[in-house]
Amino acid sequence: MSFDAEAVRQFERTGWDRAAATYGGSFAHATRAFVPALLEGITPGDRVLDVCCGTGVVTAALAAAGADPTGLDFSAGMLAEARAGHPGLRFDEGDAESLPHADASFDAVVSNFGIHHVPHPQKALAEARRVLRAGGRMAFTIWAAPAENVAWKLVFDAIRACGDPTASRAPPPGGGFASAEACVAALEAAGFVDIAAQPLRSVWHHRDGAALLQALGAGTARMAALIGAQDPARLPAIAAAIDTAAEMYRGPEGLALPLAAIVARGRRPGMLR
């Protein structure tokens, strides 16, 4: 199957709409840990755009830090959750590839695990640059490759062993990147300067393999499609395979699964403040 940008966009929007109501109690526990890396360098009063804001995890943290945040997402379901959870904050509906904001209208743009879902991440970075004032800062997180990301690797390996890795009908993803080098190259290509990318680590706690499958099924789009496409009769075997492979991460309170992400930063050329 070849890459079809509009099919990816439609798949992502439908998937995140479906996940919106259960996202806060599932996948947000994994994404939340990386928010402090995006708050670095933000000062009170900064106008900050949170691209792919989802339920507003980062937008709310920015407001708590004294910034003046605006959340942006294309999922009506996510925006409904964000507005209900944070009634005092501003959330705009729009696509990361064509932001509904004026040129140079933000001091900073951030995105927590959003850019790699966009069909053309390069367009999203160009849009972030456009809405930043001269000298304004961009920072975003992405997941590291599954080989480093234990929670993902466990699921992919278990489905390969006990399920069907080809079962999902999701369209192939676009230019999703999963390395520091790819982030740096993308920021350079978008015209940013003072670029840096570094690894981040965290831990995601689950009772067992079944709970991990449940959380990914409830709070993601692409992984949920893969899990949801498995023969339900095979799910107990998939969960058991995860438990066996995850034994080294088991403690008295269940599984403590390492998460690996990358934070990438750049600055729009121009005056520093």
Ligand X SMILES: C[S@@+](CC[C@H](N)C(=O)[O-])C[C@H]1O[C@@H](n2cnc3c(N)ncnc32)[C@H](O)[C@@H]1O
Contact residues for ligand X (CB under 6 A)? Answer: 9, 12, 16, 28, 31, 52-54, 57-58, 73-75, 78, 95-97, 112-114, 117-118
Q: Least CB distance from residue 82 to ligand X, whole Å?
A: 9
Closer residue to ligand X in complex, CB, 75/230: 75
Give DSSP secondary structure letters for 58-125: HHHHHHHTT-EEEEEES-HHHHHHHHHH-TTSEEEE-BTTB-SS-TT-EEEEEEES-GGGSS-HHHHH
Closer residue to ligand X in complex, CB, 39/237: 39
Q: Least CB distance from residue 237 to ligand X, whole Å?
A: 28
Q: Least CB distance from residue 248 to ligand X, whole Å?
A: 27
Give the residue closest to ligand X by C-beta: 54
CA of residue 171 relative to chain centroid, distance: 18
User: How far apart are alpha carbons 62 and 43 in whole angstroms?
Assistant: 9
User: How far apart are alpha carbons 179 and 177 in whole angstroms?
Assistant: 6
User: How far apart are alpha carbons 120 and 9 in whole angstroms?
Assistant: 10
SS3 168: coil
Residue 71 contacts residue 90 (beta carbons within 8 Å)? yes
The residue behind tokens 């069909």 is 119
Closer residue to ligand X in complex, CB, 123/234: 123
SS3 200: strand
Closer residue to ligand X in complex, CB, 28/260: 28
Amino acid identity for residue 246 in this structure: A
Contacts of 143 (CB under 8 A, 6+ apart): 113, 116, 149, 152, 178, 259, 260, 261, 262
Q: Least CB distance from residue 30 to ligand X, whole Å?
A: 8
Closer residue to ligand X in complex, CB, 73/148: 73
SS3 163: coil
Q: Least CB distance from residue 22 to ligand X, whole Å?
A: 13
Closer residue to ligand X in complex, CB, 75/214: 75
Residue 112 contacts residue 35 (beta carbons within 8 Å)? yes
User: How far apart are alpha carbons 185 and 50 in whole angstroms?
Assistant: 22
Closer residue to ligand X in complex, CB, 49/162: 49
Closer residue to ligand X in complex, CB, 218/237: 218
Q: Least CB distance from residue 224 to ligand X, whole Å?
A: 11
Look up residue 90 and give its two tokens: 């501003």
Q: Least CB distance from residue 161 to ligand X, whole Å?
A: 26
Q: Least CB distance from residue 127 to ligand X, whole Å?
A: 10
